[in-house]
């Protein structure tokens, strides 16, 4: 008997990064690592579940920038080369460890096969396009793919110009249509950030649900009476699903989360840093600095610098233990909640997709075992938000509290003394984009149309919340500040070309190639 | 869970437990060689009058402005001897004010203005009277309070205890997202409400009726 419903939601996102001017650019490795460690391992586990006849349901966002990169021929060509180099390093490591470091020989073999299998899956199952995997399960109905803001713009801080928010949503819908050939039903609001009135724009774009942190519902007007254990409707009739803290904590918490188990792979120990420079230099940054290679031979072991060898088999067994534990806790949680509710409760567990695989290497295996556990016991059922709404279409109407899922729960991470300077420019650019769209609404000059479209791309890319976020974390502030300034600079350079009627064709072509996101874009979207 | 497990995820998750793509980007972005970064000049002003108010959290708001030389000249404002004046309003009147000698600047306002619409006016003082130049767009502020449905006291009271359990469970994670003080305060408030409900109706949580009006599978 089904006692309750579990709604797992993954947020898959990376900012748009493309550098055609370089053969090897470190920022592009964000994507390559995420494909290798997160997206392909997840898709291969879903395929395995399907082959084994295990029923599962999963909701995942594929943000428009991520979808655009996964569909980009230049980047995917580079990804193939990346995999070939990883395999080449594996061959080298197998030989080296056999001779010099037998303690890690099995680890070298493990990674060699890991990269070989990844490449085989990419080439033969996905046919060179990761989106094919998502599309396959989306069409089957076992995966609900939802969208996000066009470039992950932090909507509550962009809504000074409401058109800017509307364009973030409308372009996202068009990107979803382009990549998945249908309209999305749901949206992962960038950073789960909500503001009063956003639901009208979501409703106008045919979106039926979104996800918020718990205090959006607990402090809603009026408070959501079932807490986060049933959805609510906003005044415009869009469903809001609240994050369950308990299940989040089991995976995220540094104190109690599963990824900290001593048998799991240690993230920091990597041969890119551990081995002799002359030996490893061809597989790290060509400019010299050491970087992660993905060949990590140690397990967490403990909280000291002493690390023991990683054993993938033992780690895999731990994912079964943790899947059982997670299932047990959800069952008990749902039993407890059922005492207070007149309907079957739901537990919504949203996570960053990149947690599963990149940071927690065994995360995809955990999900695989968890779905098997759920299928085996049949006391809780994994469903999508839409399936819950189909079963329970009548829900309380509340006005969610403005909020985000960032530190402190509001907008602090994306607006503080370190990154506030960004918003003056974003607001001005949005205002000017509207003005230029109106001024040139009837132009048929091909170059001006190209230029105006590129202006919109630069505006959207500047709006990405990732840069403001990384300024706050301070680990990547110089790079993030520069990325923001680059797009502001490009936008202003393009407006100057337009104002002086002196279009630098070479520069425009360069920007179109480098910041090539959304080939369907039409600046007139700012007029509608 | 083993105490040693605190090691993993340490800084990244502790710094920002819930934000997106934290680990991938934080890790890789650190490795970008600084010498490879090109400097991009951006405008220091846009020669447009603007005052903008943005919410940060329940007790912090961000105000930025630009008042053009043309506007200053038109109103005879000399910032060498005068200041611009900014006032924040809600529906009942002014709730905050500040002055500045800069025509292009910003300010973080500290003040608790929960659950209301506020906006900013930019202007100057003339003979002790505020003269408005322009106003910001209105913003809806946050709330950190439980907002009980007030239209049916009997229902919320009878459901109060049950409802408080759900709210309690809904907010448990706040203690590790840095909001423990708020969480504890909220729990105290819930206990008070529960006690009031029990005193009023003489029932305990075990005697609570079903929480929701709607039937199953409605």
pLDDT band at A97 (very low <50, low <70, confident <90, very high): very high
Query: Is the CB of residue A288 less than 8 Å from the CB of residue A327?
Result: no
Are A49 and A192 in a shared domain?
yes
The number of C-alpha atoms within 13 Å of B3 and in the hemisphere containing its C-beta is 0
Question: How buried is residue A528: exposed, middle or buried, by Cβ count under 10 Å (0-12/13-18/19+)?
Answer: exposed
Nearest to A17 by CA among B32, B201, B85: B32
Using CB atoms, which residue from B4, B31, B169 is nearest to A262? B4
**DSSP at A516:** -
DSSP B12-29: HHHH-SS-TTHHHHHHHH
Are A387 and A423 in a shared domain?
no
Answer whether residue B177 shows pLDDT above 70: no
Subunit contact A300:B5, Cβ cutoff 8 A: yes
Q: What is the CA radius of gyration of chain B?
A: 26
Subunit contact B179:A408, Cβ cutoff 8 A: yes
Quote the crossing angle between the two packed helices A312-338 and A363-377, to the nearest 10°: 50
Q: Is residue A423 part of a domain?
A: yes
**Average per-residue pLDDT for chain B:** 69
Q: Is residue A293 part of a domain?
A: no
Are A59 and A40 in a shared domain?
yes
Least confident of A60-64, A124-128, B17-21: B17-21
Pairing of strands B139-140, B117-126: antiparallel
Using CB atoms, which residue from B141, B147, B176 is nearest to A223? B147
- What is the arithmetic mean of pLDDT over B111-125? 95
Residues 6+ positions from A159 with CB-CB distance below 8 Å: A165, A195, A197, A198
Token readout for A474 is 């301070």
Q: pLDDT for A44-82, tens place per residue?
A: 999 999 999 999 999 999 999 999 999 999 999 999 999
pLDDT of residue B218: 30
Cα–Cα distance measured from residue A147 to residue A63, given in angstroms and rounded to the nearest whole number? 6
Cα–Cα distance measured from residue A310 to residue A296, given in angstroms and rounded to the nearest whole number? 8
Residues of chain A with C-beta less than 8 angstroms from the C-beta of B42 = 425, 485, 488-489, 492
Give how far the C-alpha of residue B153 lies from the chain's centroid of Cα atoms, to the nearest Å: 29
pLDDT band at B175 (very low <50, low <70, confident <90, very high): very low
Subunit contact B16:A469, Cβ cutoff 8 A: yes
Per the rule left: phi > 0, alpha: psi between -120 and 50, beta: everything else, A191 is left
Q: Is residue A299 part of a domain?
A: no
Subunit contact A410:B166, Cβ cutoff 8 A: no
Cα–Cα distance measured from residue B83 to residue B67, given in angstroms and rounded to the nearest whole number? 12
Q: Is residue A196 part of a domain?
A: yes
Are A481 and A369 in a shared domain?
no
Subunit contact B177:A246, Cβ cutoff 8 A: no
The total of other beta-carbon atoms located within 10 Å of residue A259's CB is 25
Quote the crossing angle between the two packed helices A446-462 and A505-514, to the nearest 10°: 40
Q: Looking at A408, A433, A456, which one is the last position of a domain? A: A408
SS3 A392: coil
Q: pLDDT for A266-307, tens place per residue?
A: 988 999 999 999 999 989 877 778 888 999 999 999 988 899
State residue A211 phi and psi, 5-degree precision. Answer: -120, 135
Subunit contact A213:B149, Cβ cutoff 8 A: no
Residues of chain B with C-beta less than 8 angstroms from the C-beta of A391 = 217
Residues of chain B with C-beta less than 8 angstroms from the C-beta of A392 = 214, 217-218
pLDDT band at B193 (very low <50, low <70, confident <90, very high): low
Cα–Cα distance measured from residue A389 to residue A386, given in angstroms and rounded to the nearest whole number? 5
Pairing of strands B84-90, B93-100: antiparallel
* Maximum CA extent, chain B: 72
The total of other beta-carbon atoms located within 10 Å of residue A69's CB is 25
State residue A299 phi and psi, 5-degree precision. Answer: -100, 165
**Average per-residue pLDDT for chain A:** 94
Are A352 and A498 in a shared domain?
no
Using CB atoms, which residue from B12, B24, B210 is nearest to A33? B24
Burial B28-38 (b: 16+ CB within 10 A, else e): bbebbeeeeee
Subunit contact B43:A425, Cβ cutoff 8 A: yes
CATH number for the domain spanning A512: value is: 1.20.1430.10
Q: pLDDT for A406-464, tens place per residue?
A: 888 999 999 999 999 999 999 999 999 999 999 999 999 999 999 999 999 999 999 99
Q: Which residues pair with A58 in a beta bridge?
A: A143
Answer whether residue B108 shows pLDDT above 90: yes
Which residue blocks in chain B are alpha helix, DSSP H? 10-15, 22-29, 69-74, 153-170, 180-201
Q: Provide ipTM, 2 decimals.
A: 0.94
Are A504 and A377 in a shared domain?
no
Quote the crossing angle between the two packed helices B22-29 and A465-473, to the nearest 10°: 70
Are A164 and A67 in a shared domain?
yes
pLDDT of residue B146: 83
Q: A37 or A339: whose pLDDT is higher? A: A37
Nearest to B22 by CA among A463, A17, A474: A474
The total of other beta-carbon atoms located within 10 Å of residue A91's CB is 12
CATH number for the domain spanning A235: value is: 3.20.110.10
Q: Which of A34, A343, A361, A395 best tests the B interface by mutation, with the highest count of B CBs <10 A?
A: A343
The alpha-carbon gap from B133 to the nearest alpha carbon of chain A, in Å, equals 19
Cα–Cα distance measured from residue A75 to residue B17, given in angstroms and rounded to the nearest whole number? 30
Q: Which residues pair with A210 in a beta bridge?
A: A187, A240
Using CB atoms, which residue from B6, B56, B171 is nearest to A412? B56
pLDDT of residue B170: 60
Structural domain boundaries, residue A378? 4-71+129-245+345-408
Q: Is residue A513 part of a domain?
A: yes
Any A CB within 8 A of B143 CB: yes
Strands lying side by side in the sheet with B50-57? B50-57, B60-66, B104-110
Q: Is residue A63 part of a domain?
A: yes
Q: Which residues pair with A381 in a beta bridge?
A: A5
Q: Is residue A94 part of a domain?
A: no
Cα–Cα distance measured from residue A105 to residue A472, given in angstroms and rounded to the nearest whole number? 41
Subunit contact A479:B37, Cβ cutoff 8 A: yes
SS3 B61: strand
**DSSP at A374:** H
Question: What pTM did the predictor assign?
Answer: 0.88
pLDDT of residue A290: 86
Are A350 and A484 in a shared domain?
no
Q: pLDDT for A157-167, tens place per residue?
A: 999 999 999 99
Q: Is residue A281 part of a domain?
A: no
State residue A99 phi and psi, 5-degree precision. Answer: -90, -45
Q: pLDDT for A174-217, tens place per residue?
A: 999 999 999 999 999 999 999 999 999 999 999 999 999 999 99
**DSSP at A244:** P
Q: pLDDT for A325-361, tens place per residue?
A: 999 999 999 998 888 888 899 999 999 999 899 989 9
Are A391 and A488 in a shared domain?
no
Using CB atoms, which residue from A259, A391, A470 is nearest to B25? A470
Cα–Cα distance measured from residue B210 to residue A376, given in angstroms and rounded to the nearest whole number? 31
Answer whether residue A380 shows pLDDT above 90: yes
Residues 6+ positions from A294 with CB-CB distance below 8 Å: A33, A36, A37, A86, A111, A115, A270
Sign of the four-CA dihedral B18, B23, B27, B30? negative
Residue whose pair of structure tokens reads 């003394």 in the numeric block: A417
Taking the CA atoms of residue A132, residue A133, residue A135 and residue A138 in that order, the dihedral angle to the nearest 10 degrees is 170
The total number of structural domains in chain A stands at 2
pLDDT of residue B20: 37
Q: pLDDT for A354-364, tens place per residue?
A: 989 998 999 99
CA A99 → CA A280, A399, B108, distances in Å? 16, 66, 62
Residues of chain A with C-beta less than 8 angstroms from the C-beta of B179 = 408-409
Residues of chain B with C-beta less than 8 angstroms from the C-beta of A160 = 52, 54, 137
Least confident of A302-316, A325-339, B146-160, B188-202: B146-160
Q: Looking at A366, A381, A408, which one is the last position of a domain? A: A408
Residue whose pair of structure tokens reads 């021929």 in the numeric block: A73
pLDDT band at A255 (very low <50, low <70, confident <90, very high): low
Q: Let me know the angle formed at the C-alpha of A237 by A235 and A243, rounded to the nearest 5 degrees.
A: 90
Least confident of A72-81, A390-399, A468-477, B122-131: A468-477
* Maximum CA extent, chain A: 71
Are A356 and A463 in a shared domain?
no
Q: Looking at A408, A427, A459, which one is the last position of a domain? A: A408
Are A361 and A427 in a shared domain?
no
Are A355 and A227 in a shared domain?
yes
**DSSP at A292:** -
The alpha-carbon gap from B50 to the nearest alpha carbon of chain A, in Å, equals 9
Give how far the C-alpha of residue A94 lies from the chain's centroid of Cα atoms, to the nearest Å: 33
């Amino acid at each position: 008997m089904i006692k309750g419903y579990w709604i797992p939601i993954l947020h898959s996102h990376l900012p748009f990064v493309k550098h055609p001017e370089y053969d090897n650019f470190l920022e592009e490795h964000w994507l390559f690592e995420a494909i290798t460690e997160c997206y392909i391992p997840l898709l291969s586990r879903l395929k395995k579940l399907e082959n084994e006849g295990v029923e599962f349901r999963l909701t995942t966002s594929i943000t428009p920038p991520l979808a655009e990169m996964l569909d980009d021929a230049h980047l995917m060509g580079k990804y193939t080369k990346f995999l070939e180099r990883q395999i080449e390093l594996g061959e080298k490591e197998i030989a080296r460890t056999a001779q010099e470091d037998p303690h890690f020989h099995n680890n070298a073999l493990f990674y060699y096969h890991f990269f070989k299998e990844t490449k085989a899956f990419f080439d033969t199952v996905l046919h060179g396009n990761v989106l094919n995997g998502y599309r396959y399960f989306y069409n089957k109905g076992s995966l609900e793919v939802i969208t996000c803001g066009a470039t992950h713009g932090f909507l509550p801080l962009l809504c000074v110009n409401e058109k800017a928010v509307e364009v973030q949503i409308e372009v996202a819908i068009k990107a979803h249509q382009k990549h998945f050939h249908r309209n999305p039903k749901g949206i992962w609001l960038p950073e789960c950030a909500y503001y009063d009135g956003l639901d009208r724009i979501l409703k106008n774009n045919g979106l039926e649900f979104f996800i918020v942190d718990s205090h959006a519902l607990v402090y809603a007007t009026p408070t959501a009476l079932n807490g986060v254990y049933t959805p609510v409707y906003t005044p415009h009739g869009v469903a809001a699903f609240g994050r369950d803290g308990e299940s989040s904590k089991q995976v995220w918490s540094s104190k109690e989360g599963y990824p900290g188990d001593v048998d799991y792979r240690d993230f920091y120990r990597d041969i890119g840093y551990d081995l002799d420079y002359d030996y490893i230099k061809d597989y790290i940054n060509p400019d010299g600095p050491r970087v992660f290679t993905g060949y990590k031979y140690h397990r967490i072991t403990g909280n000291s610098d002493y690390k023991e060898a990683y054993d993938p088999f033992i780690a895999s067994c731990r994912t079964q233990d943790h899947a059982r534990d997670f299932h047990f806790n959800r069952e008990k949680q749902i039993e407890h909640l059922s005492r207070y509710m007149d309907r079957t409760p739901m537990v919504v567990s949203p996570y960053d997709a990149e947690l599963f695989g990149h940071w927690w290497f065994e995360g995809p295996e955990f999900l695989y075992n968890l779905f098997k556990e759920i299928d085996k016991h049949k006391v809780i059922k994994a469903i999508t938000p839409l399936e819950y709404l189909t079963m329970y279409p009548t829900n309380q109407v509340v006005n969610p509290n403005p909020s985000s899922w960032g530190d402190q729960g509001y907008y602090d991470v994306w607006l503080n003394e370190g990154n506030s300077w960004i918003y003056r420019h974003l607001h001005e650019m949005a205002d000017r984009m509207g003005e230029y769209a109106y001024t040139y609404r009837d132009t048929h000059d091909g170059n001006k149309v190209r230029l105006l479209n590129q202006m919109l791309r630069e505006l959207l890319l500047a709006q990405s919340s990732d840069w403001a976020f990384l300024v706050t974390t301070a680990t990547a502030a110089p790079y993030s500040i520069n990325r923001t300034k680059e797009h502001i600079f490009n936008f202003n350079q393009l407006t100057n070309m337009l104002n002086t009627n002196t279009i630098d064709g070479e520069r425009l072509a360069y920007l179109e190639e480098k910041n090539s996101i959304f080939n369907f874009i039409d600046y007139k979207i700012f007029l509608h | 869970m083993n105490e040693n497990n605190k090691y993993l995820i340490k800084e990244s998750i502790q710094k920002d437990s819930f934000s997106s793509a934290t680990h991938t980007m934080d890790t890789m972005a650190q490795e970008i060689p600084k010498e490879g970064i090109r400097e991009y000049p951006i405008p220091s002003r846009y020669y447009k009058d603007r005052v903008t108010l943005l919410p940060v959290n329940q007790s912090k708001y961000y105000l930025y402005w630009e008042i053009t030389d043309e506007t200053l000249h038109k109103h005879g404002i000399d910032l060498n001897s005068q200041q611009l004046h900014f006032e924040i309003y809600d529906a009942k009147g002014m709730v905050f004010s500040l002055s500045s000698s800069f025509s292009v600047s910003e300010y973080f306002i500290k003040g608790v203005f929960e659950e209301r619409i506020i906006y900013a006016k930019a202007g100057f003082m003339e003979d002790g009277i505020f003269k408005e130049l322009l106003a910001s767009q209105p913003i809806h502020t946050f709330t950190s309070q439980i907002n009980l449905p007030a239209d049916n006291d009997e229902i919320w009271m009878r459901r109060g205890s049950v409802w408080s359990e759900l709210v309690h469970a809904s907010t448990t994670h706040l203690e590790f997202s840095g909001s423990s003080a708020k969480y504890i305060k909220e729990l105290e408030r819930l206990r008070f409400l529960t006690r009031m409900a029990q005193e009023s109706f003489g029932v305990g949580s075990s005697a609570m009726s079903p929480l929701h009006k709607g039937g199953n599978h409605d």
